[in-house]
Chains A and B, each alone.
Chain A
Amino acid sequence: GNSVTQMEGPVTLSEEAFLTINCTYTATGYPSLFWYVQYPGEGLQLLLKATKADDKGSNKGFEATYRKETTSFHLEKGSVQVSDSAVYFCALYRDDKIIFGKGTRLHILP
């Protein structure tokens, strides 16, 4: 079946550090891939997406590249800010369903 595996948190970094959150997926066919972010007390927001192999999604300084050969969609940011503290969910869209990973909590220290 379709599934998403992402690195467990919490991840704690200092401000301006480089961020990577790993995500791999299992799916039939070619799903679309997403990263969602959930800030404290708020609902999920779509951060970025990629719909086909080698596509790069980007938003707010975050990037992720759809790698079919490694079935991965790792989230990266070159310099994190305190305001990036949140929970990040990797997800795939297939057969009219979104399948979410378990989420990775990110803490950024000033």
Chain B
Amino acid sequence: EAGVAQSPRYKIIEKRQSVAFWCNPISGHATLYWYQQILGQGPKLLIQFQNNGVVDDSQLPKDRFSAERLKGVDSTLKIQPAKLEDSAVYLCASSWDRGYEQYFGPGTRLTVT
């Protein structure tokens, strides 16, 4: 069974630029999560989808971050405009349903200069 796929693996941008990350969850998984992991800290949930609906986006900085999961499968996370403090690893995870084990992708390391 293929795992959670993410791309790109690395991205370097200048502040005020925009960037997008892509995630393809495990086939059949209804729940998809985006986490932000700042260096030296544990992952922090940004947004949770159930199929193509948002369950929780309380920690998403909505003035600059947006995410969508249009067909209930793939998802994209966008930052516009980026700030220096957005430098982090962005992890995508999926689970068969809410409350089930989450499987994590390898992450996208973003550096904002």
Bound form: Cα–Cα A101–B44 in Å = 10
- Given the contacts A41-B106, A42-B106, A43-B4, A96 and B99 also touching, CB distance less than 8 Å: yes
Interface residues of B in 40-54 (CB under 8 A from A): 40-45, 48
Report yes or no: B42 in contact with A103, Cβ–Cβ below 8 A. yes
- Given the contacts A43-B4, A43-B105, A44-B104, A96 and B98 also touching, CB distance less than 8 Å: yes
Q: Does B102 contact A (CB under 8 A)?
A: yes
In the complex, what residues of A have CB within 8 A of residue B3's CB? 43
Q: Does A79 contact B (CB under 8 A)?
A: no
Q: Give the distance to chain A from B53, nearest Cβ to Cβ, in Å.
A: 14
In the complex, what residues of B have CB within 8 A of residue A41's CB? 106
Report yes or no: A43 in contact with B99, Cβ–Cβ below 8 A. no
Q: Does A100 contact B (CB under 8 A)?
A: yes
Bound form: Cα–Cα A96–B107 in Å = 22
In the complex, what residues of B have CB within 8 A of residue A89's CB? 42-43
Q: Give the distance to chain B from A22, nearest Cβ to Cβ, in Å.
A: 15
Bound form: Cα–Cα A14–B44 in Å = 32
Q: Give the distance to chain B from A28, nearest Cβ to Cβ, in Å.
A: 17
Nearest residue in A to B98 (C-beta to C-beta)?
A96
In the complex, what residues of B have CB within 8 A of residue A96's CB? 48, 55-56, 98-99
- Given the contacts A43-B91, A43-B107, A98 and B41 also touching, CB distance less than 8 Å: no
Q: Give the distance to chain B from A70, nearest Cβ to Cβ, in Å.
A: 21
Report yes or no: A101 in contact with B42, Cβ–Cβ below 8 A. yes
Report yes or no: A102 in contact with B106, Cβ–Cβ below 8 A. no
In the complex, what residues of B have CB within 8 A of residue A91's CB? 42
Q: Does B85 contact A (CB under 8 A)?
A: no
Bound form: Cα–Cα A45–B45 in Å = 16
Nearest residue in B to A43 (C-beta to C-beta)?
B104
Residues of A within 8 A of B (CB): 4, 41-46, 89, 91, 96-103
Add 17 more A-B contacts to A102-B42, A103-B40 (CB < 8 A).
A43-B91, A43-B104, A43-B106, A44-B91, A46-B101, A46-B102, A91-B42, A96-B48, A96-B99, A97-B56, A98-B43, A98-B102, A100-B44, A101-B42, A102-B40, A102-B41, A103-B41
